[in-house]
Structure 1
């Protein structure tokens, strides 16, 4: 999945704000193919393995296995990554990051109309289940597969939508579970509502995304004290959730709001998160790398020593 802020050079000279729009520009598909062939190579996988990483979360779109105009299939790259992961003793969580109709309003959710969530239409839910089944049939027996994530950060605005999503999650999980080996996990997003979803995902693994740079409360804070207090509070909450089902932090980073962020404060924030027990089975940094240095770029942070002695 492409996001313009992460790889602006791919979008340079266009008005496109997301992959959907870029795919329809004159040379957009060629740009996307060039990016896929060059941005991640075997040297990256080798580096990750040597850095102590054991699990990769790969964000993919509903067009992953087959062309869905204007989107191009990414199957050759996924096949390659799965085989590279096996070669370097890594595992992969295949995360459906973009669903038919768009499951949220973000630029990565699979629609050029980012202000309109249409995933709750029954036909889009059915398509999503079939896509997940296709992914399961294609990669379910691959030795590098750690899990399949049903949806990334679906937006839930009403009680009706929440129950719709819960019912779909339950039915789709049963379908996939009958096809997957027992050791492969099915992962469910907490929709940024962990208190409601914890205990309601059956044997699935609950995915919580831990950020302290987006909420109004976090943005209004002017010191690291607030962020350390929030971290301690959430660590206790995660401990409680982990008693109800397996838990992962599917996304986290050292990023802080603009009013607090600096190289030193974000280093401290990173160290604080590594020091506080997360009470989870896995945690995954967003993201491995971007075109710019900084807190969203794990490789850059690692090279600055932010993770020394923490990944053994």
Structure 2
């Protein structure tokens, strides 16, 4: 997401990056400049009222790893900035011991060893350290959620039933150290959908109403990674987004809070000068623009309009059927960047405003 940080190295993830002699200084330069108090003030002005902040386990326990600690200091600073703007914070354990998915976003690309017993327990220990600090009542006005782990896969080395059993144990272990019992303890759905967690929800939340439930699910909803999504037109992407409401409604009826913890405006579409839209990442006709391969500042009005339509359709679904939502991410390339979207106009400002109402019909 920030390739300039990696310049001059052959690193492919933080595990390999942190083995460079200059890693700690580069990280500090990044931490001090990438996200500042001015950014929090700007987000508040857009109508954003909460931040989901990812952090790796190594910020609290880097033993026997090459990881450089120190990120927790900047997480704490961001929490204080959020408090100053009346915003809430959800702390997301984005990288777990052993890597929960083998993706670079876990900190260590490659093998998945998260479900080894010692790594599952180590993950809980880190979560308890976070919960012990930020679950104190003095942070109750700002820290509202702790996410147990981000995007564990449910195939290969990970067994989904093991993930569910671990999440239930982790919930109880984290809950045990909280002073603020109103914090939401959130589990990413492991790519299985919120309704795959109804059994766990029943055991934890029972029949408590939605607003009183303290276990919640985080669903990440994208239309850019699977082969089936590649050929879709933007109208087809919007229709698919509208159908996401079905699972959210079922979860709501079962008193399971669901947050869309990651979503974006990104789809692989190309918009021709005559208005015809097709799936793809490149085109050669005059005036054609493709979302995935062109910097945002070069987008024409036709492309901006199509991306905004998709963004607004999703916002309508989240507002009607979820307990909350977080755009991925604040700064990023193409339609992955929320701040760029506000400036270019493919994200509403404020986020509650609409140009294209009723795309999903009555909600």
- TM-score with structure 2 length normalisation? 0.79
Residue of structure 2 equivalent to 1:189? 188
Aligned partner of 2:251 among 200, 216, 241:
241
The C-alpha deviation readout for 1:88-143, integer Å capped at 9, x for no partner, is 111111000000000002101132xx221000100000100100001111111223
2:260 and 2:326 in contact (8 A); partners too: yes
2: CA distance, partners of 1:65 / 1:213: 33
Matched, 1:80 2:121: no
1:198 and 1:206 in contact (8 A); partners too: no
Q: Name the SS for the 1:120 alignment partner.
A: coil
Q: Name the SS for the 1:208 alignment partner.
A: strand
Q: How far does residue 26 in structure 1 lie from its aligned partner after superposition?
A: 2.8
Q: Name the SS for the 1:100 alignment partner.
A: coil
1: CA distance, partners of 2:44 / 2:113: 39
Residue of structure 2 equivalent to 1:3? none
1: CA distance, partners of 2:324 / 2:126: 25
Q: How far does residue 278 in structure 1 lie from its aligned partner after superposition?
A: 4.6
1: CA distance, partners of 2:235 / 2:35: 37
2: CA distance, partners of 1:89 / 1:41: 16
The C-alpha deviation readout for 1:47-91, integer Å capped at 9, x for no partner, is 111111111001100012344442222121112111111111111
Residue of structure 2 equivalent to 1:137? 132
1:287 and 1:296 in contact (8 A); partners too: yes
The C-alpha deviation readout for 1:1-23, integer Å capped at 9, x for no partner, is xxxxx111101121111111111
Aligned residues: 302
1:248 and 1:280 in contact (8 A); partners too: yes
Stretches of structure 2 that go unaligned for 5 or more consecutive residues are 206-214, 270-278, 281-289, 292-302, 354-363
- TM-score with structure 1 length normalisation? 0.91
Which has more helix, going by share of residues?
Answer: 2
Q: Name the SS for the 1:57 alignment partner.
A: strand
Stretches of structure 1 that go unaligned for 5 or more consecutive residues are 1-5
Q: How far does residue 236 in structure 1 lie from its aligned partner after superposition?
A: 2.1
Q: How far does residue 198 in structure 1 lie from its aligned partner after superposition?
A: 3.6
CA 232–28 in structure 1, closer or farther in 2 if over 3 Å, else same = same
2: CA distance, partners of 1:178 / 1:116: 32
Matched, 1:228 2:238: yes
Residue of structure 2 equivalent to 1:90? 87
Q: Which moved more, 1:161-170 or 1:62-71?
A: 62-71
How much is the aligned-residue C-alpha RMSD, in angstroms? Answer: 1.9
Q: How far does residue 170 in structure 1 lie from its aligned partner after superposition?
A: 0.8
Residue of structure 1 equivalent to 2:21? 26
1: CA distance, partners of 2:61 / 2:243: 43
Q: Mark the structure with the bigger radius of gyration.
A: 2
2:47 and 2:350 in contact (8 A); partners too: no
2: CA distance, partners of 1:48 / 1:84: 11
